[in-house]
Homo-oligomer: A and B are copies of this chain.
Amino acid sequence: MELANKSRKDEIIKIAAQLFKEKGYKATSMRELAEKVGMEAASLYNHIASKETILQTICMQMGEAYLSHLQQTNENNYTFEEKIKLFIRLHIEVTIANIAFVSVANHEWKHLSEPHLNEFVEMRKKYENGFLRILEEGKKAGIFRDIHPTIALFTLLSAIRWVEVWYREDRKISVVELEDEIVKLLLHGLIR
C-alpha cells in the first residue's frame, strides 16, 4: 500500500514535469494534470499537498543531483584538465538523464515561494561557485587561458546548461559523442 502510493505519487510528479516543461508551470492546470494521470483533479490531493509541492520536489531533486556531481568532481586527485572534462561530462549526463526535471528546474524555479525559492537559489549559487573555483585554480596553475572568471563561468555553464533545450534523442547523437564534441569545442575552441 505504502509502496503503491509512493509510485503513484512519483508518476504524478513525472507527468507534471512533462507538462510544466511543455506549457510552463503557471499555464498547467491541476485539471489537465489529473486528466493525464487518469483521475479527477480533487483526487490528486490524496497524493500531493499542492501544485507547488510538485515544483519544489522537482527543483530540489535536481539541485541535489547537480551538487552531488560537483562533489564527485572534487573528490579525487584529478588534474585541472581532467577535472573540467569530468565536470562537463557529468553535468551533461545528469541533464540528459532527467531532461524534463532539468527543464522545469531551469525555467520554472522562479515560481517557488519562500523559503524554497531562497533554498534553490542558494543551491545554484553553491554549484556555480564550485565550478568557479575549478576555473580560477586552473587559471592560476597556468592550465586555463586568462579569461574573466565570471564570464568564463557563465559562458561555459550556459553552453552546457542548455543542452536540455535543444537535445533530441531523434538526432541520433549518442550521449558520449555529445560529451566528446562539447568538451572538444569548449576546451580547445572553434578555430583550429
B188 touching A145 by the CB < 8 A rule? Answer: yes
Which of the residues B143, B152, B162, B177 comes within 8 Å of A162, measured between beta carbons? B162
Number of identical monomers bound together in the oligomeric complex: 2
Main secondary structure of the interface of A (DSSP, over half): helix
Interface residue A158 (Cβ < 8 Å from any Cβ of B): yes
Contact A189 B192 (CB under 8 A): no
Cross-chain pairs A/B with CB under 8 angstroms, 25 sampled: A81-B191, A84-B190, A135-B190, A144-B191, A145-B184, A145-B188, A145-B189, A147-B184, A148-B181, A151-B178, A152-B185, A152-B190, A154-B162, A154-B166, A155-B181, A155-B182, A155-B185, A156-B185, A158-B163, A158-B166, A159-B159, A186-B189, A186-B190, A187-B190, A187-B191
